[in-house]
Amino acid sequence: MALTSNLSFFIFFNSIFISSISSFTTQHPFDPLSPYELMQIQSIVKNSLSSSKSSLITFHYVGLDEPEKPLVQSWLSKPKTKPPPRRALVMTRFDKQTYEFIINLSSKPFSIISTKVYKDYGYPTLGSDEQISAILLPLKYGPFIDSVRSRGLHLSDVVCSTFTVGWYGKESNRRVIKLQCYHINGTLNLYLLPIEGIKIVVDLDEMKIVEYVDNGRVPVPKSEGTDYRLSEQKPPFGPHINGAAILQPNGPGFIIDGYTIKWMNWDFHLAFDARVGPVISLATIYDQEKQRHRSVMYRGHVSELFVPYQDPTEDYYYKTYFDCGEFGFGLLAVSLVPQADCPNNAVFMDGYLAGQDGSPVQIPNVFCIFERHSGDVMWRHTEFGIPNITVTESRPEVSLVVRMVATVGNYDHILDWEFKPSGSINVQAGLSGVLEVKATKYTHSDEIDQEVDGTLLADNTIGLNHDHFLTYRLDLDIDGVENSLVKQNMVTKRVLNGKTPRKSYWTVESETAKTESEGKIKLGQKPANLVIVNPNKKTKYGNSHGYRLIPGTVAHPILEDDDYPQIRGAFSNYNVWITPYNKSEIWAGGRYVDQSHGQDTLAVWSLRNREIENKDIVLWYVLGIHHIPCQEDFPLMPTLSAGFEIRPTNFFEFNPVLKVIPPQPVNIQNFGP
């Protein structure tokens, strides 16, 4: 990553050179892999697999192998010393097998620590190049060409897309995907114009079509009204958005030092990962009264996104995606657009990942960081209860936002991490893009004479019902490593003493979760606060230091537990999970998700029912949305946002922003044209 919107060829290779000669003693343990490291990894892995075989080596994940936590903590206490051993985790395909490498990056030259062949169920994340190769196959496949022509369509207007096949109880040793094709017909909104009735299965290792069926014809929806480009819109236009700008005479209020970001009382590390996108590490907040930084979150990131569609028919039943494990949020991250995706005061950072051939790929502007001046109120009070005295004190809310967008096929996912001076971290996910639709013969809802798993949005177009279960992994270290989950249950009590006219009240009955089974929680069943506390640290008045989870939208799975997609996505069965810290338990859907059987998931790990009281624990939060499409989602849906917040609870001795210094007014006249 670099603090620029576009790196030139010269700067890019200079950064590689600088990375190659930089001191390992000054490198942060959580820094993402540099272009130089990626190139060296590519060379080492290819050399290790070179043989008489002509098989192509493909890279499907190359990322930082997280250092052991005690070693990182030891380094944090003495940051001038040598950092923990730096390693990379590499997943490749070679000779129809999955190879997993651990690479030592601390030695010169780099070396392989371990190699193993993965032989359990599941395959690594799909590669971008192989998907491109696969979608071109039908355009040269005779039966498909005949199917297109028989429908009166033009092959030059056909575009295909890749879809994972899932697992439905049958054994398979083939790494395959399905293709669905679309007829763009003058629009770029291909996902709204599906060509129905054609089944195409591609073997990715053989790179050939292994199954083809044409089941019949359904009218292709019309392209009129589907284009979302402003240049293609017709009057009437509106509403009109007035121009706005954020003026910061003294520049940004934050400092970026390498990958460490310092803003107001916050200090944290930001890295880019090919599978999950943004990773926030070592988030600490400065306590003015104690005159020191205090730990809040060791590591936080998206872990998996489970999106099961609800059409059980032959052509759609398999559409139950795991976007991080099958496609990769980082692999599908897009460059952010200044003053559209991010405000004019944003600073942009680039990201690097390994392409399918292992070479470094740059994603310009993959992150933006900006101060949000939202017009909200941080705190206020007007006091006019005292005779002849009126006092008003108010402070404007200002926060720091880290943003990335991952476009997985038709959906755009806007990922925000928002830090507030009060100590809160607000996590938001925005959903936009194009709905998954199904072509139909219907043009009006009154014509529908059978069960339809969606909403009629336009002529011959049904938006399919589906869910979004976005799972976050939050390794919270509240003022230290040993933490507990406290459930503050709000219980109704009946007044029985006859000394008051009140008949009832509620009180809090707290319980501490002792094992993983007690840390599994379905929200909404009974009123309760969920607080991660450090039972070993107390306030002046005896309350345990803590952070409270404030949930947002709550949704639970509606599928049957024995349905195959739900077996694989069983981590969505609860909104909250608590597990002991385990370096290998990072991805809720498992390490190898494509065609997995659900044998390596958060739901399986927690069956061990390990102790979680006063331990180094991890909070998993499942943000769920049931999406019933509506016409306002057509042809491109306005952003639908959901999220959650973690908020200090008895962490500080009193309001940490009571003494915040408000900003000085900006003289706008000094910034006129």
Report the distance separating Cα 257 and Cα 307, nearest Å: 37
β-sheet bridge partners, residue 491: 507
Angle in degrees, CA 377, 337, 159, rounded to 5 = 130
Q: Above 70 in pLDDT, residue 216?
A: yes
Q: Above 60 in pLDDT, residue 2?
A: no
3-state secondary structure of 26: helix
Q: Average the pLDDT over 455-460 and give the result.
A: 95
β-sheet bridge partners, residue 349: 367
Task: Identify the band that residue 53 occupies on the pLDDT scale cut at 50, 70 and 90.
Answer: low
Q: Above 90 in pLDDT, residue 629?
A: yes
Over the stretch 546-575, which tens digit does the pLDDT of each residue have?
999 999 989 999 999 999 999 999 999 999
Q: Above 80 in pLDDT, residue 113?
A: yes
pLDDT at 671: 55
3-state secondary structure of 129: helix
Q: Average the pLDDT over 358-365 and give the result.
A: 98
Task: Identify the band that residue 16 occupies on the pLDDT scale cut at 50, 70 and 90.
Answer: very low
pLDDT at 78: 87
Cis bond upstream, residue 35 (ω within 30): no
pLDDT at 251: 87
**Helices 9-21/35-49 angle, 10° precision:** 70
Over the stretch 322-343, which tens digit does the pLDDT of each residue have?
999 999 999 999 999 999 999 9
Over the stretch 133-173, which tens digit does the pLDDT of each residue have?
999 999 999 999 999 999 999 999 999 999 999 999 998 89
Task: Identify the band that residue 50 occupies on the pLDDT scale cut at 50, 70 and 90.
Answer: confident
Mean pLDDT (the chain) is 93
- Write down how long the chain is: 673
H helices of 167-236, in order, are none
457 in Cβ contact with 448 (< 8 Å): no
Q: Above 60 in pLDDT, residue 22?
A: no
Please state whether beta strands 454-458 and 437-439 pair in parallel, antiparallel, or not at all (unpaired): unpaired
Report the distance separating Cα 154 and Cα 138, nearest Å: 13
Task: Identify the band that residue 449 occupies on the pLDDT scale cut at 50, 70 and 90.
Answer: confident
DSSP designation for 542: S
Q: Above 60 in pLDDT, residue 392?
A: yes
Which phi and psi angles does 187 have, rounded to 5°? -125, 155
pLDDT at 21: 35
Q: What is the dihedral of CA 321, 326, 331, 337, to 10 degrees?
A: 0
DSSP E strand boundaries for 477-555: 482-494, 504-512, 528-538, 544-550
pLDDT at 24: 38
pLDDT at 4: 35
Which phi and psi angles does 326 have, rounded to 5°? -95, -35
CA distances from 468 to 65, 306, 319, 537 (A): 28, 6, 13, 37
H helices of 573-631, in order, are 602-605
Q: Above 50 in pLDDT, residue 454?
A: yes
652 in Cβ contact with 658 (< 8 Å): no
Written as six digits, the tokens of 598 are 């659900």
Taking the model in full, what pTM does it have? 0.94
Over the stretch 288-312, which tens digit does the pLDDT of each residue have?
999 999 999 999 999 999 999 999 9
Q: Above 70 in pLDDT, residue 17?
A: no
First to last CA, the chain: 34
β-sheet bridge partners, residue 405: 414
pLDDT at 307: 98
Report the distance separating Cα 479 and Cα 296, nearest Å: 6
Task: Identify the band that residue 673 occupies on the pLDDT scale cut at 50, 70 and 90.
Answer: low
Written as six digits, the tokens of 200 are 């195409």
Amino acid at 527: P
Over the stretch 260-275, which tens digit does the pLDDT of each residue have?
999 999 999 999 999 9
Q: How far is CA 326 from the centre of its chain?
A: 13
Q: For a pLDDT cut of 70, what percent of the chain falls above it?
A: 95
pLDDT at 550: 98
pLDDT at 147: 97
Q: Average the pLDDT over 409-429 and give the result.
A: 98
Q: Above 90 in pLDDT, residue 357?
A: yes
Q: Above 70 in pLDDT, residue 84?
A: yes
Q: How many CA atoms lie within 13 A of 419 on its CB side?
A: 26
The catalytic residues are 323, 411
pLDDT at 669: 66
Long-range contacts of 409-415 (CB under 8 A, 24+ apart): 409/161, 409/191, 409/327, 410/191, 410/434, 410/435, 410/436, 411/307, 412/334, 413/305, 413/323, 413/329, 414/341, 414/639, 414/641, 415/277, 415/278, 415/302, 415/329
Which range is least confidently modeled, 205-214, 240-249, 478-487? 240-249
Which phi and psi angles does 310 have, rounded to 5°? -110, 15
DSSP E strand boundaries for 184-229: 198-203, 208-214
Binning the chain into helix, strand and coil, the percentages to the nearest 5 are 15, 40, 45
Q: Above 60 in pLDDT, residue 443?
A: yes
pLDDT at 52: 52
Written as six digits, the tokens of 443 are 């043009």
DSSP designation for 237: P
Q: Above 50 in pLDDT, residue 5?
A: no
